[in-house]
Amino acid sequence: MTPDGQQIVIRYVLPGDLFGIAVAIGRTDYPGTAAAVIDSAALGWEMSAWPEMMERCPAMVRNVVRTLGGRAQEFQARIGEISTGRVERRVAQAVLRLVAQAGEPTEDGRRIAFPVSRQDLAQLTGTTLHNVSRIVSGWEREGIVAGGRERIVFRDGEALRRIAENSAE
């Protein structure tokens, strides 16, 4: 949440992902809130256990470093998208990223495996619900995606990739 109460979706955590690892970068608090969008289970431990766990489990240290490095690259790309990309391009990039991370095959294409609303896409891409609704509705008319309440089915990968890669303003 921003200081003025606006919610921002930073990322979706998928099965097997690490989250809440702020202690690994020297924080004593977690700067966000994790909320489950589907039935989930999470394994957690006290922050005070980290030093001993990091000493005893070098594989965990490697995994944390790999995770943090990947997130730094992801956030750098997203900052570039939000700073310079057209809104339609940003939304296309976000949908492609979600499909790559959590797409599952359906008879119509690939569906994002958890509920994603248009508001979620707006928060994820730094735009408004109105913009995302207009864009996704247009894609539905063109057959690029099929939508419904909190669901997106990715139908025409080539068309969405062209939108995501188009750098023209």
CATH of the domain at 105: 1.10.10.10
Is residue 102 within 8 A of residue 112, CB to CB? The reply is yes
Where the chain has pLDDT below 70, the residues are: 167-169
CA angle 55, 57, 61 (to 5 degrees): 85
144 assigned to some structural domain: yes
41 assigned to some structural domain: no
pLDDT at residue 59 in the model = 92
138 assigned to some structural domain: yes
Each residue's pLDDT tens digit, 14-50: 888 888 888 877 888 777 788 888 888 888 888 888 8
110 assigned to some structural domain: yes
150 assigned to some structural domain: yes
pLDDT at residue 169 in the model = 43
pLDDT at residue 161 in the model = 92
122 assigned to some structural domain: yes
Domain count across the chain: 1
Structural domain span for residue 125:
87-165
pLDDT at residue 167 in the model = 53
CA distance 97 to 3: 28
Helix (H) or strand (E) holding 146, with range, is strand 145-148
135 assigned to some structural domain: yes
pLDDT at residue 45 in the model = 84
For the beta carbon of residue 136, count every other beta carbon within 10 angstroms.
19
> What residues contact 144, with CB distance under 8 A and at least 6 apart?
155, 156, 159, 160, 163
105 assigned to some structural domain: yes
Rounded to the nearest integer, the mean pLDDT of the chain is 86
Q: How many residues does the chain have?
A: 169
